[in-house]
Each structure stands twice: as structure tokens, then as C-alpha cells.
Amino acid sequence: MSKLLVKPSAPDQDGRIHHVTPESAGWGHVGFDVHRLADGQVLERETGDREVCVVLLSGKAAAMVEDTDFGIIGGRSSPFEPDPWSLYVPAGLRFAVTAQGPCELAICSAPGNPGSKPRVIAPGDVGCMTRGSGTNTRHVRNILPETEPADGLLVVEVITPSGNWSSYPPHKHDQDRLPQESLLEETYYHRLSPPQGFALQRVYTDDRSLDETLCAEDGDVVLVPRGYHPVAAPHGYELYYLNVMAGPKRVWKFANDPAHEWIVKP
């Protein structure tokens, strides 16, 4: 199996089914965990030298950061539903979430600096937009964009309708050459509806030193260390993915594959 495709494991004692670290991914910034918690289960963590964005994929949880009670966050029954709730926790703090019924949450992380204030990112704080047209249409929820305060993290949800393409035309962000392009690592957490579906994702570079086409099933993570990375949702299956990006500069500037850029030119 490709090293870029990470399958979920059986839940550990903390309900964790994914644990992607910079060391396991072979890069320097992005970390990504997924936990599935039972009612009343408590997940407690120290952020250490990393900032964290906890995304409630489904269900509700009581959220605490140090001695600050942020109350109950979440509420949707599936990541395909709108209105995501998230909790941003800077470096150097302890946080705890307590499941209020079964819940699934993602812990997105990147190197960070202490001193910022933790905050809840409510649905009203999330910028929603539709990109593309025709079979290139997808729906974007900007949970932690570069316009909102953080040290390195960028977090976004995308819904790709049945039969559509996403992250398309193929684009990349693997060179530190601003203002044209930024260097960002990226993870894709894929969910399918109905769940027996699959998505296809290609990760490739101009020189084809990296060129892999991956079949991502419900619950899989795809690592994008470099290169272009388009995604396709087959007919009959809606695709959700949660993107986490981070790099040396917190700027998202991408370059389209020149062979396919004509698709978006007027």
C-alpha cells in the first residue's frame, strides 16, 4: 500500500483511530489525529510546542482550556451537515473535551508559539463559499483561514457532490516562492456518503518523480507532501474531506498544473 494512504486503526483507549505526526509523515509541520469518543468519555491533552484546532466532525462535547469553560460545542450528526464547531488552542496549554453522547473529532496541529488566547470557532465564524462550476463545483467551509489568527495552521472542510471533481484543476503548493506559491504540507481526511463508497486522488509532480493514484475509502487519510493533488467523487457518492495545511509561512498560494490551467482561464 502507498505510504501516502493512511488507513484508520481500531480505536485505542482514547478512541483514537488516526495518528499522523510529522515524524510518521516524513515532514516538518502538520499533525492530524481522529478520535471517536463514547458518551461521557474525556479526552485531555497538553499542546506543548504545537497549536491545535479541534474540529467536531459529529456529535457534541464540553470544552475546557485550562480553567476556562467554553461550554458545549458541536451538534451536527455527520460531517456532511453544515455548521462545524471547532476549538482553537494555542501552544503551551492543556485542553479537555468530554463527549456529550457519541462524537467524532479531529485534532489538527502545527508548530506554534505560546501567548495567544484559546477560542471557540462557531458556525457563524466560518466562511462558506462555492467554488467552480459544472462538474467542478464544490462547497467550502473555511474553519481556520489565513485571515483568522493562528501561528501556522490552515483548516478547511470541503463537500464535493456526487460525480464532481475537487482540488481541480490540479494545483500544488510545494515551493517557497511567494507571492506566486507557498510551501504547505497537507492532509486530506476523507469521508463518503453512503460510507461504502470511495474517492480517487492523484498526487503527482511535474517530473513524475512522485505519481500515485490512490483509492481513498471512508475514514482514510491521504498525505500530500508535495505535488498536484486532484480528487474525484464517483457517481452516487458524496465526498467530504477535512484539509489541514501548514508550512514555514502561513500563506496559501497555489500554482495550477500548466497543462490544465486552461480550464479556469476566461
Query: Is residue 54 in a domain?
Result: yes
Query: Is residue 257 in a domain?
Result: yes
- Of 183, 185, 194, nearest to 233 by C-alpha is 194
CATH number where 152 lies: 2.60.120.10
pLDDT in tens, 196-236: 999 999 999 999 999 999 999 999 999 999 999 999 999 99
pLDDT in tens, 29-67: 999 999 999 999 999 999 999 999 999 999 999 999 999
Identity (one letter) of the amino acid at 32? F
Query: Is residue 103 in a domain?
Result: yes
222 phi and psi, to 5 degrees?
A: -110, 130
Query: Is residue 1 in a domain?
Result: no
In contact, 99 and 41? CB cutoff 8 Å: yes
Question: For residue 95, what pLDDT band results from cuts at 50, 70 and 90?
Answer: very high
Length, in residues, of the chain = 266
> What pLDDT is stored for residue 202 in this prediction?
98
| Structural domain boundaries, residue 244 | 7-264
Residues 18 and 252: their CA atoms lie apart, in Å, by: 25
Domain count for the chain: 1
pLDDT in tens, 236-255: 999 999 999 999 999 999 99
pTM, 2 dp: 0.97
